[in-house]
Amino acid sequence: MATLPKITILGSLNIDLVSYVPHHPLPGETLSATSFKVSPGGKGANQAVACGKLSRSSSSSSIPPSAQIKMVGAVGSDTYGTLLLSNLSSYGVDPTLITSIPNAKTGIAIIIVDEPTGENRIVLSAEANNLCSGQEFIEKALEKGTDLLIMQLEIPMETVLAATEEAKRRGIKVLLNPAPAKKLPEEVYQGLAHLIVNETEASILGEVDERELDTEEGLERVSEGFIKRGVENVVITLGARGVYYMDKSGKKGLVEAEKGIKVVDTTAAGDTFVGRYALDVVGGGFDIEVAVKKGNKASAITVQRAGAQDSIPWKDEVE
Ligand SMILES: Nc1ncnc2c1ncn2[C@@H]1O[C@H](COP(=O)(O)OP(=O)(O)OP(=O)(O)O)[C@@H](O)[C@H]1O
C-alpha cells in the first residue's frame, strides 16, 4: 500500500469554557448563566481537526483516509489535557507527539456570550501552550516523512521561527497562518511555501490600511508585496467575500464565497479553509486555484453549522 502524505500541525490546544448570559456582568456582579458548554479549541487543534475530518469519511469504512495527520503541542497534566488528546483521536488526528507537561495547566479560554446580541468577551490563559518551546518540539514537528508543517502564532514566536527555518533547511514545506497577527522577521517570508491570512492579518503584515483590501487591485498589490518578500503562494481569506490568491508565477484571482447559504456561525471557517487547502498541497499536482476553490467550498459548510470543531465537515460531506 502506498504511504499516505503526512501533515503535521505545530500549534495551540485549548479548552473553551463558554457561558451564555442574559447580559455581560457588571463589576462585582454575580450572574447566573442560562447555559454552559466545554468545547475543545485552539487554532492549532482546530486546524488539525480540519485536516483530520476532511481527509477521512465520517463512517470510516467507505472512503480510505487521504493523509496522515499528526499534532505537536503541549497540554497540562489535567483532565482537560486528556480530553483534548482523546478528542483529536476521534477526528483522525494522531496525538502521540503532544507533550503532557507535569504540573502545567492546559490552555483555557473563558468565553462569555451575551445571548441577546451574540457579543462575546474572552479571557485567554495560554498556560501549556506558552511552554511549547525547545528543540524537542521542533524535532517532533519535523519528524522524518513529514510533507507539510502547518503553524499559527498561538505558541511562542521563537518556536515558530526556529521550526520555519529548520523546515526550510530540511526541504519540508511550511504553511503559515499567522493568527493572531504579529509582525514577523523578514527572513520568515523568504522561501515560505504557503501564507494564508485573513483581512486583518493581511493589513498588519502587509503594512496597509484594511480599506486597501476592498478592491481587487488592492488585494493584488498586497499579495504582490508578500510574493516580493519571498512567499511562493499567498492566500487572503475575505469572509463573506470569498478568497483572493496569487502564486509566484503570477497566477491570481478572486474566488467568490458560496452564495445563497444560511450563515449560522463563522467560527472555524478560516481553520476549515486551511485544512482543505493543506490536503491539496500534499495531494500531488498542486494548483493554487483548485486548492482555494476546495477550501472555499469546505468553509461554506462550516459557516452553516454552530460550533467550532463540530461544524467542520468530513471528507464525504464535501465530495
Ligand atoms: N458568510 C460567509 N459565506 C460564505 N463563506 C464564508 C462566509 N464567511 C466565511 N466564509 C468562508 O470561510 C473563509 C474563511 O473566512 P474568514 O476570512 O472569515 O476567516 P477567519 O477570519 O480566519 O475566520 P475564523 O477566525 O473565524 O476561523 C472565507 O474565505 C470563505 O471561503
- Is 271 part of the annotated catalytic residue set? yes
Consult the annotation and say whether 300 binds a ligand.
Answer: no
Residue 196 pLDDT > 70 = yes
Probe target for ligand 1 pocket from 277, 294, 299, 309, with the most ligand atoms within 8 Å of CB: 299
- Measured between alpha carbons, how far is 92 from 45 in angstroms, rounded to an integer? 12
| Lowest-pLDDT range of 57-66, 180-189, 203-212, 240-249 | 57-66
Q: How confident is the model at residue 165 (pLDDT cuts 50, 70, 90)?
A: very high
Question: Could you tell me the pLDDT band of residue 61, with boundaries at 50, 70 and 90?
Answer: low
Domains delineated in the chain? 6-13+43-106+127-318 (3.40.1190.20)
Atom 24 in ligand 1: residue holding the nearest Cα: 270
State the virtual CA torsion across 253, 257, 258, 261 in degrees, nearest 10: -170
Pairing relationship of beta strands 93-94 and 68-72 according to DSSP bridges: parallel
Check pocket membership of 301 for ligand 1, CB cut-off 6 A.
no
Q: Under a CB-based contact definition with an 8 Å cutoff, are residues 290 and 280 in contact?
A: yes
Asked if residue 1 has pLDDT above 80, the reply is no
Instruction: Tell me: pLDDT of 19 over 60.
Output: yes
Q: Which three cell numbers stand for residue 23?
A: 447580559
At 267-290, the pLDDT tens digits run 999 999 999 999 999 999 999 999
pLDDT of residue 296: 98
Check if 152 has its Cβ closer than 6 Å to any atom of ligand 1. no
The tally of CA atoms less than 13 A away on the side-chain side of residue 257 is 22
What is the predicted ipTM? 0.98
Measured CA angle at 130 (ends 125, 131), to 5 deg: 130
